[in-house]
Structure 1
């Protein structure tokens, strides 16, 4: 388990100091530079973690190399790379494969993929120009034999680049997979295969004046069902994923956010159309009176009552709920508003309370949390009452009130053409 990346930037900085002898001021400059490189979307801890990997710093609980790195005598070690070197041969371990990006520059276009690599002397970035199909076959922890690369300085480190004249050969290691039922809060470097149950829409936002995107999906590996959150470029991939598709996720991390979620951030990768022995899932439609302890179930019901929302404060940095002036989890002082809405759902067989969190609450009312007022609620509530929706979610037991609630993960107006197709004429 590597919890440092989520909430202990100071601990990572101390490890970098011990490994490199850099001063804290020098490390903080590197952190600021790394955050700028990623458009301000990296937390301080995330940027520190990335720098730690570049310096060859091992975090507590991180596994050693999965694939043996057997180097030839003419291989160059990462610590010996210098700016301007050409015809570089190296044998390294792959720590992460980032999403491939399309670029256009000086009337040229192409694709580029960044990988984090390491050997026993240090870590750096490998930049592969083109060769997209070959990169897609490289797994995390693979041993990579690089031929005819060149070294180039980017900001404060020397990177390796492979262009059309260079090549690489991967020897993939045995996969180190985590079962979803074994995922705990704070875990990092999580790799798993899963079947997608439901994909939710992409939500766009601004953070410190910079745009971002987020999407999510309910996924299962047969042992547990979890919410997988896709950030930024991963959200663009998620919107094309279809129900029952099998995906592979690499370098994800777990965070508890009302419930335990798995997040795919800047160090992660998602691979589509994979093969794994995971049973096909079917989203079951049930009547409210038939609901027990269901997960990943659908109901069709009318909204018959909507209660005023609860406005909550979330940490602007880690998104944990803030009850004090300072976030108890990460120490951040800035916060953003969010809301929770409860509504009564009636399908004619029974009534159940539906709970809508955050963006789902905003979607139901058509009101942003920051713009909420009693007048706006009274107006928007009338637009929702009596309207029929198809809701997807799961049952949550609330013993203190002696009832069950339906936690809504997504909802939409019924597609009546599809509803007609579901009716079997006997």
Structure 2
């Protein structure tokens, strides 16, 4: 769709004039440091105003979540929101970024839908149990090999669309609800949340190399960094940290990646990299903050698995809450337990 056609479509759908729209578009381009075209900025403004620029989306085929494949673009998915996760703010290349996500179920499976930066305003208006239609999203494989739907400026998100009967979506929220448990009761292959204090942090290399284009782990081949999808690349470094959580009933080993690792470490990845490089020691960042980490109390959300080498259960975290308002967090957990009992 050409730029003038986009402007015409927005003008017809809103009370805004072309002059006001052009001003908003120029402001958006400046806000994004000229990293988007006029057409791209116009798509973002249209999305923020709730103007549909996608023709005949109702006639296009939905993709069942179970059939999603990494690399798919212009995907249309319809489902029920079974959980939402807080917006996280972080810094990348000296710029503040925001990301939020939700869990979507269409009866065939679950998918995480990821909203970035300018789409955060859309995300904030979506609630658990809403029916959403995601149009023109793209599918990406995360570092755990799980598929995610990513919302871009071309994506249209319709919340509780009038032409969709909620009863037609055979969604279940079983996966989205983590069970609050004592560590001593944790079993493998379950999604849990628990509260405890960090009593140990493992001193080891806390970085791993990924492809800067797709985020997948890369392999070394004759001294070259090779991505299975993009071939020879100059790798980016991501951070992870392994620690032990104690809740008074037992202890469990936990591993956090990316933003979760930054929460535990109390520093962004780029700062940890600078510390490690300046001391020529990839374990130095752990030493530098270990005294601050030990004793830190956190809520942990994550997937459990059995480590066959040690024959012990471990947690890969999916969310960490610190600076806890205990009353709010415990009230929410109590409400979830009560809801579960009723069902």
Give the TM-score band, short-chain normalised.
0.5 to 0.7
Using the TM superposition, give the Cα deviation of residue 302 of structure 1 relative to its aligned residue in structure 2, in angstroms. Answer: 1.8
| Alignment check: 8 A CA contact 2:91 2:268 kept | no
Partner of 1:249: 134
| Alignment check: 8 A CA contact 1:315 1:321 kept | yes
Q: 2-side partners of 1:228 and 1:131: how far apart?
A: 17
Partner SS state of residue 70, structure 2: coil
Q: 1-side partners of 2:292 and 2:262: how far apart?
A: 13
Corresponding position: 1:184 with 2:73: no
| Alignment check: 8 A CA contact 1:111 1:132 kept | no
Higher relative contact order (Cα pairs below 8 Å, separated by 6+ residues): 2
After superposition, the C-alpha distances for 1:157-187 in whole angstroms (9 at most, x for unaligned) are: xxxxxxxxxxxxxxx32x5222323323333
Corresponding position: 1:260 with 2:146: yes
Q: 1-side partners of 2:258 and 2:264: how far apart?
A: 10
Q: Following superposition of structure 1 onto structure 2, how do residues 96-107 of structure 1 map, counting pairs within 5 Å? A: none
Aligned residues: 288
Using the TM superposition, give the Cα deviation of residue 318 of structure 1 relative to its aligned residue in structure 2, in angstroms. Answer: 1.9
Select the structure that is richer in helix.
2
Partner SS state of residue 394, structure 1: strand
Partner SS state of residue 298, structure 1: strand
Which of 248, 252, 258 is residue 348 of structure 1 equivalent to?
248
| Alignment check: 8 A CA contact 1:314 1:337 kept | yes
Name structure 2 gaps, 5 residues minimum: 26-38, 277-282, 338-343
After superposition, the CA RMSD in angstroms is 4.2
Q: Following superposition of structure 1 onto structure 2, how do residues 378-417 of structure 1 map, counting pairs within 5 Å? A: 378-413=287-322, 414-417=324-327
| Alignment check: 8 A CA contact 1:392 1:409 kept | yes
In structure 2, the CA distance between the partners of 1:312 and 1:384, relative to structure 1 (3 Å rule), is same
After superposition, the C-alpha distances for 1:379-410 in whole angstroms (9 at most, x for unaligned) are: 31221212221111222343344333211111
Partner of 2:105: 220
Q: 1-side partners of 2:48 and 2:119: how far apart?
A: 17
Partner SS state of residue 318, structure 1: coil
In structure 2, the CA distance between the partners of 1:202 and 1:337, relative to structure 1 (3 Å rule), is same
Q: 1-side partners of 2:18 and 2:51: how far apart?
A: 22
After superposition, the C-alpha distances for 1:325-363 in whole angstroms (9 at most, x for unaligned) are: 444221363332211111111222232211100111111
Using the TM superposition, give the Cα deviation of residue 250 of structure 1 relative to its aligned residue in structure 2, in angstroms. Answer: 2.0
In structure 2, the CA distance between the partners of 1:141 and 1:371, relative to structure 1 (3 Å rule), is same
Q: 1-side partners of 2:248 and 2:108: how far apart?
A: 34
Partner SS state of residue 227, structure 1: strand
Using the TM superposition, give the Cα deviation of residue 307 of structure 1 relative to its aligned residue in structure 2, in angstroms. Answer: 1.1
Partner SS state of residue 87, structure 2: coil
Stretch of structure 1 that moved more, 288-297 or 353-362 = 288-297
Q: 2-side partners of 1:357 and 1:323: how far apart?
A: 18
Q: 2-side partners of 1:177 and 1:269: how far apart?
A: 14
| Alignment check: 8 A CA contact 1:234 1:270 kept | no
Select the structure that is richer in strand.
1
Partner SS state of residue 217, structure 1: strand
Partner of 2:157: 270
Using the TM superposition, give the Cα deviation of residue 365 of structure 1 relative to its aligned residue in structure 2, in angstroms. Answer: 0.5
Higher-Rg member (1/2) = 1
Partner of 1:6: none
Which of 168, 171, 184 is residue 289 of structure 1 equivalent to?
184
Partner of 1:303: 198
Partner of 1:121: none
Using the TM superposition, give the Cα deviation of residue 311 of structure 1 relative to its aligned residue in structure 2, in angstroms. Answer: 0.7
Stretch of structure 1 that moved more, 307-316 or 411-420 = 411-420
